[in-house]
Amino acid sequence: MRGQTKGILHIKLQNIKDERPLSAPLRPETRLLTITITDVNRNIQKSKDIPFMSPNDHHHIADSQRAYCDILAWVHENKSNPCVKVDPRFNLKTRLTDDQGFIPRLKDHVLARFHNVPYDGNEHAFLDSERNSLIFAGDRMYRHEAFRVNYTTYDTQRAQDSINIRTHPHIMVLAHEDDEENDSHPYWYAKVLGIYHVNARLSDEIETRRVDFLWVHWFGRDLEHRGGFETRRLHRIGLMEPQLPESYGFIDPSDVLRGVHLIPGFEIGRIPSNLTEDKEEWEYFYISMYFLFIIITANHTDIASRFVDRDMFMRFLGVG
């Protein structure tokens, strides 16, 4: 893109028995239909699968470790995926030190979390010797379908967003931009490609620590399209070039502010993509901070606005 900065329901029909005497005729309109709704995932109705989340917690990711993969094998199987950047000339062992690979960057992220290195918008690169000191228990990475994030709204209430990699994958975090830059923006946006956790430890430690992380594809702002309240246009963003390593990254779930609602740029269209099932992706999206529409009639013109929600509107207004 141009000018970038960084269940299915089953329905069963059944007839209701008529409560009148058998001698009374049963008219067609008295044969009622009831709908029984059953979720595809039978366990979703069990409270233990959707545990209580305290409003004091920032986020929640399930404790389950049923869905896992061997990290080395998974990286090798996805060698053609630009998100992973696996060069077929390298073998599995070499991937541990390749600076554009999935595993070295994951190790850098986990090491930064272990050593409390603050995230400033750039991933801290550790030495190979430091990377080798980090051990993933069982060489496993555990996958999750969703996570929930709590946030405080502009009016000091607590609200919650559910981030799902299939249906609601877009998030926003605080931007790490130089305040002196022209046309700076307060937030960065990303599409969540995966929600994972690993159990890791340093070589001189015995106990492992669980580390949750998000694997994301960053959006970049279209600098040729000016948005905001002054221009009465929505900000426009697009996924960064898929072949660039810096287009992808790891995020600590604690850094997520909330989910963000994006509107595809229908008038611009879609572009080919190897990262989606249908092999296409919208080229641009608009950040839904508000929606302005004009109704023109023979007698007068009405201008009306709609907002994705009040909190999002106040955030962009600068008082959220």
Domain with 155 in it: 55-267
Question: Rounded to an integer, what is the distance from CA 127 to the centroid of its chain?
Answer: 30
Q: What is the mean pLDDT of residues 291-296?
A: 54
Q: Kindly state whether residue 310 falls inside one of the protein's structural domains.
A: no
| β-bridge pairing 134-136 and 59-60 | unpaired
Evaluate if residue 24 carries a pLDDT over 90: no
Model confidence at 313: pLDDT above 60: yes
286 belongs to a structural domain: no
Residue 27 placed within a domain? no
Does residue 199 lie within any of the structural domains? Answer: yes
Percent of the chain with pLDDT over 90: 28
Q: Please state, rounded to an integer, the average pLDDT across all residues of the chain.
A: 75
In a domain, 6, yes or no: no
pLDDT of residue 54: 82
- Identify whether the C-beta of residue 10 lies closer than 8 Å to the C-beta of residue 38: yes
Average pLDDT of span 13-29: 40
| Number of domains the chain contains | 1
Q: Could you write out the DSSP letters of every residue in 155-206?
A: TS-EEEEEEETTTB-EEEEE----TTSTT--SEEEEEEEEEEEEEEEETT-S
Give the confidence band of 319 by pLDDT, cuts at 50, 70, 90: low
Judge whether residue 39 has pLDDT over 60. no
Mean pLDDT of 3-31: 40
Residue 303: pLDDT over 60: no
155 Cβ contact list (under 8 Å, min separation 6): 310
Q: What is the pLDDT of residue 137?
A: 93
pLDDT of res. 275? 67
Q: pLDDT at position 31, please? A: 37
Q: What is the mean pLDDT of residues 62-70?
A: 90
Q: What is the mean pLDDT of residues 180-209?
A: 88
- For the segment 90-101, the average pLDDT, to the nearest whole number, is 41
**Do the domain assignments include residue 47?**
no
Task: With a cut of 60, say whether residue 302 has pLDDT above it.
Answer: no
Average pLDDT over residues 134-142: 93
Residue 269 has pLDDT above 50, yes or no: yes
pLDDT at 34: 33
Q: Which of 65-79, 95-109, 147-161 has the lowest mean pLDDT?
A: 95-109
- pLDDT band at residue 109, thresholds of 50, 70 and 90? very high
d(CA 103, CA 97) in angstroms, rounded, equals 8
Q: Which one of 99-103, 292-296, 299-303 scores highest in mean pLDDT?
A: 99-103
User: Is 302 domain-assigned?
Assistant: no
97 has a pLDDT exceeding 90: no
Burial 95-122 (b: 16+ CB within 10 A, else e): bbeeeebbbbbbbbbbbbbbeeeebeee
- The per-residue pLDDT for 242 is 81
Determine the Cα–Cα distance for residues 124 and 104; give it in Å rounded to an integer. 11
Cβ atoms of 284 and 296 closer than 8 Å? no
Instruction: Assess whether pLDDT exceeds 90 at residue 111.
Output: yes
Question: Would you say residue 22 lies in a domain?
Answer: no
